[in-house]
Amino acid sequence: MIYVDNAATTRLDEDALEAMKPYLTGFYGNASQPYFFAKPVRKALAAARETIASCIGAKPNEIYFTSGGTESDNWAIKGSAFGDAEKRVTITSQIEHHAVLRACAAIQRLGYPVIYLPVSSDGTVQPETLKQYLTSKTRLVSVMLANNEIGTIEPIAELAKIARENGALFHTDAVQAVGHIPIDVQELGVDMLSASAHKFNGMKGSGFLYIKQGIEIPSYLDGGSQERGKRAGTENIAAIVAMAVALKKNYDRMETTAKKLNALEQILLNRLANAGIDFRRNGAPCHLPGNVNISIKSSDGEMLLHRLDLKGICISTGSACDSVNTRVSHVIEAIRVPEIYAKGAIRITFGVENSVEDAINIADSLVDILHANNGA
Ligand code: PLP
């Protein structure tokens, strides 16, 4: 089996697995309890928070553990809206993940205005476009750090500066970026940042929201006083410990991994081009390492996904969370891929476990399928 759908999810890191094990059976105490048995659990929670904070240039008390990217995005969007009595505008982009888009649709239904910014043909949210729509009536700007389908890395520092100068809050969905490209919340100048552990070799169902100290966002889940009273619910200690180990490991090997993934991208693309496949690459030159989103002329992404699946190769056509949906994705639509290419969009996302042989095998399998299909 060749797994190249790492933007959908990643394999749990072995060291992260080992690190979390003691918190499943041995140290299973509830971190909120004052007795001695819970002390190592509290210590592990604090250490994980510190590690994660240091990886993104934050302070430990700015990290709030959540159940993952979807919850973090919902909290940022709904929290900033519901905390605003004036019901000011939320600005986002047309190519956000559904966790942001549907959270925005939800606040819209409650009477909070939302603007969806168009993007350029490589998926970039242009600072000039944001300037056109931003007013003193803007409460929040939410633009993703890197797109999950086409990998485009957005000019977040520039966009956040524009938002700040106009008195708006700035949130970035960094679910695809954390653990893969260097991130410093100070340099980015963001107020909130969402992350999800299963995108960087941690556990599914765990993540965090960075909230800059001093930014007042109402609590998302009401209940106990965990996470400084902002996010109730007994902490998933094992997953949090695993998340910190996986993140640190990814940070330590980030440069080498990026080089390797960029090389795999080139091998795949060159092999397809040399075989005479007519395709266009979607996304910007500044993109996530290992993300290859291509549209093959007069082809069908769904068909390619299933044919590759028969050969034991896992790829994606659009957003993973939407793989039941067969229409052209909202991202491919927003970047205005010409019709003859649009349906043939596939996403291959290499991960740290992939090899040169994998890249060659995928390219050759694709060429075989396309040739067989054209001959049919
Ligand atoms: N945001 C982006 C950009 C994503 O790619 C995803 C998952 O695919 C999410 C949010 C949702 O994250 P989670 O699966 O942790 O809920």
3-state secondary structure of 358: helix
**Which conformational region is residue 367 in: left (phi greater than 0), alpha (psi within -120 to 50 degrees), or beta?**
alpha
- Comparing CA positions, the residue from 54, 373, 58, 96 lying closest to residue 244 is 54
> What is the Cα–Cα distance from 166 to 154, expressed in whole angstroms?
19
pLDDT digits (tens, 9 = 90+) for 154-185: 999 999 999 999 999 999 999 999 999 999 99
Instruction: Output the pLDDT for position 164.
Output: 97
Residue range 87-95: mean pLDDT, rounded: 98
| 173 ligand 1 Cβ < 6 A | yes
Instruction: Output the pLDDT for position 319.
Output: 44
Instruction: Give the chain's mean pLDDT.
Output: 96
> What is the Cα–Cα distance from 347 to 49, expressed in whole angstroms?
33
Residue range 202-229: mean pLDDT, rounded: 96
Instruction: Supply angle C-alpha 136, 137, 143, rounded to 5.
Output: 90
> What is the Cα–Cα distance from 101 to 111, expressed in whole angstroms?
15
Instruction: Output the pLDDT for position 214.
Output: 97
Provide the CA 164 distance to its chain's centre, in angstroms: 23
The β-bridge partners of 169 are 140
pLDDT at 360 over 70: yes
Instruction: Output the pLDDT for position 362.
Output: 98
Q: Which helix (H) or strand (E) covers residue 209, if one does? A: strand 207-211
| 283 ligand 1 Cβ < 6 A | no
3-state secondary structure of 245: helix
Residue range 70-83: mean pLDDT, rounded: 97
Instruction: Output the pLDDT for position 52.
Output: 98
pTM (2 d.p.): 0.97
Residue range 80-98: mean pLDDT, rounded: 97
DSSP 58-83: --GGGEEEESSHHHHHHHHHHHHHHT
Residue range 229-257: mean pLDDT, rounded: 98
| 175 ligand 1 Cβ < 6 A | yes
The encoded tokens of residue 156 equal 């977040």
pLDDT at 36 over 70: yes
How far is the centre of ligand 1, averaged over its atoms, from the C-alpha of 354 (Å)?
22
3-state secondary structure of 140: strand
pLDDT at 123 over 80: yes
Q: Which atom of ligand 1 is nearest to the CA of 205?
A: 15
Cβ–Cβ < 8 Å for 65, 258 = no
pLDDT at 45 over 60: yes
Residue range 350-363: mean pLDDT, rounded: 98
pLDDT digits (tens, 9 = 90+) for 273-326: 999 999 999 999 999 999 999 999 999 999 999 999 999 999 999 544 445 556
Q: Which helix (H) or strand (E) covers residue 116, if one does? A: strand 114-117
Is-catalytic flag, 286? no
Instruction: Output the pLDDT for position 219.
Output: 94
Instruction: Output the pLDDT for position 320.
Output: 43
How far is the centre of ligand 1, averaged over its atoms, from the C-alpha of 238 (Å)?
20
Residue range 52-63: mean pLDDT, rounded: 98
The encoded tokens of residue 155 equal 């000019």
In degrees and rounded to multiples of 5, residue 145 shows phi and psi of -75, -40
In degrees and rounded to multiples of 5, residue 178 shows phi and psi of -60, 130
> What is the Cα–Cα distance from 202 to 93, expressed in whole angstroms?
28
> What is the Cα–Cα distance from 261 to 290, expressed in whole angstroms?
5
Which residue's C-alpha comes closest to atom 5 of ligand 1? 148
| 78 ligand 1 Cβ < 6 A | no
Instruction: Output the pLDDT for position 327.
Output: 82
